[in-house]
Amino acid sequence: MTREPAHRRRARQLTMALVILLGAWVLVPIYLLVVNSLSSPAEVNGFPKSFVPSFDTGSLGFFLGFAGVTRALLNSVLVAALTMVLSIGLGAPAGYALSRFEFPGKSSYRLLVLMTRAFPLPLLALPLAVLFIRTGLDDSILGLALVHTSLALPFAILITYSLFSGIPLELEEAAWTLGCTRLQAFRKVILPLVLPGITASAIFAFVISWNEVFAASVLTIQNRTLTAFLLQSLDVSPMPLKFAGGFVLVLPALIFIFAVRRYLFAMWGIANR
């Protein structure tokens, strides 16, 4: 066996160290969150700490019974669901058009879609709040869902664009020659093939809305989503409750992202297994 050159080995060790550091950056907070939310309040505040949780659900139970939490949870689900429907409803047709048609300004349109993400939300929040108050959209589920849709839409467009591009045009043409209209060909041939990917990008839109806290805090007062509610109330809550709240917030997002990770890789151009 030949030994690899020293500089090559050192480069590899450096890469490994970076990977471990980045992994820890994400995983350690999640680990602490899980351990603490599954421990009893006494353990959370006590010392020394155990690295294995005692699976005491006292804090979680108390948190879920806390006034306003269920309401906020429901609001979060409603806003996220609405965001999901809107961004797929608008994004999928846009993705299809991008993949199938040549039109003037196509490449600038694609760039523009991404550029919307470069516009900072805090800059937008105040004028939006004013506009929403004037139109009566303030403090409403629809209003917040619209803002979240504008955040999720670029991803929905780009993911569905890559999905549709992965389906050969020949399949659609074959369906047309076999008696389908454009719409029928889409429904009978394209839709069944992209459905898993569409589901994934829908879930991704859901997660974006679920995690969003800034617009939610600025644009809602009574109808707070879970993130906005937690931001407001956990600040003044005891430590075990903070952990429990964080845990409830992080878990669905983690599960969803894990479920759709393959499609996100595809969107970012990493080869899809």
Partner 1 sequence: MAVIEIKSVAKSFGSFTALHSVDLAIADREFMVLLGASGCGKTTLLRMIAGLETPSEGEIWIGGRRVDHLPPRERGIAMVFQNYAVFPHLTVYENIAFGLRMKKLPQAEVDRRVTRTAELMHIEQLLKRYSGQLSGGQRQRVAVARALAMEPDVILMDEPLSNLDALLRLEMRAELKGVLAASKTTTIYVTHDQVEAMSLADRISVMHQGRIIQSASPIEVYRDPAARFVGSFIGNPPMNFLPARRVGPGDWQVAGLALSGPSTDADEADFAIRPEDLSLADAGLPAEVRVVEPLGPHVLVTCDVAGHAFRAILDNETRAAPGDRLSLAPLPGRARWFDRTTQRALSA
Q: Contact residues for partner 1 (CB under 8 A)?
A: 168, 170-171, 173-181, 184, 188-189, 192-193
Closer CB to partner 1, residue 104 or residue 127?
104
Q: How would you class 217 by CB atoms within 10 Å of its CB: exposed for 0-12, middle for 13-18, buried for 19 or more? A: middle
Complete DSSP assignment for 205-244: HHHHHHH--HHHHHH-SSS--HHHHHHHHGGGS-HHHHHH
Choice between 11 and 171, CB closer to partner 1 = 171
**Shortest distance, CB of residue 167 to partner 1, whole angstroms?**
9
By beta-carbon proximity to partner 1, the closer residue of 68 and 168 is 168
- The radius of gyration of the chain from alpha carbons, rounded to an integer in Å, stands at 23
> Phi and psi for 182 in degrees, rounded to 5?
-55, -45
Closest distance between partner 1 and the C-beta of residue 192, in Å?
5
Who's near 56: CB < 8 A, 6+ residues apart? 38, 39, 40, 43
Nearer to partner 1, 9 or 182 (CB): 182
DSSP one-letter code for 101:
-
Nearer to partner 1, 89 or 168 (CB): 168
CB of 172 to partner 1, least distance (A): 9
Which of 238, 249, 259, 254 lies closest to 213, judged by CA?
249
Encoding tokens for residue 182?
């454009």
At its nearest, how many Å lie between partner 1 and the CB of residue 263?
18
In the bound state with partner 1, the residue whose beta carbon lies nearer, of 24 and 174, is 174
Residue 150: both structure tokens together: 């504008």
Report which DSSP code applies to 46.
Answer: S
Which residues, 6+ apart, have CB-to-CB distance to 87 below 8 Å?
A: 149, 152, 153, 155, 156, 202, 205
Q: Residue 102 CB, nearest distance to partner 1 (Å)?
A: 10
* CB 266, min distance to partner 1, A: 17
Nearer to partner 1, 90 or 180 (CB): 180
Smallest gap from residue 141 Cβ to partner 1 (A):
36
Name the residue with tokens 């603490």. Answer: 36
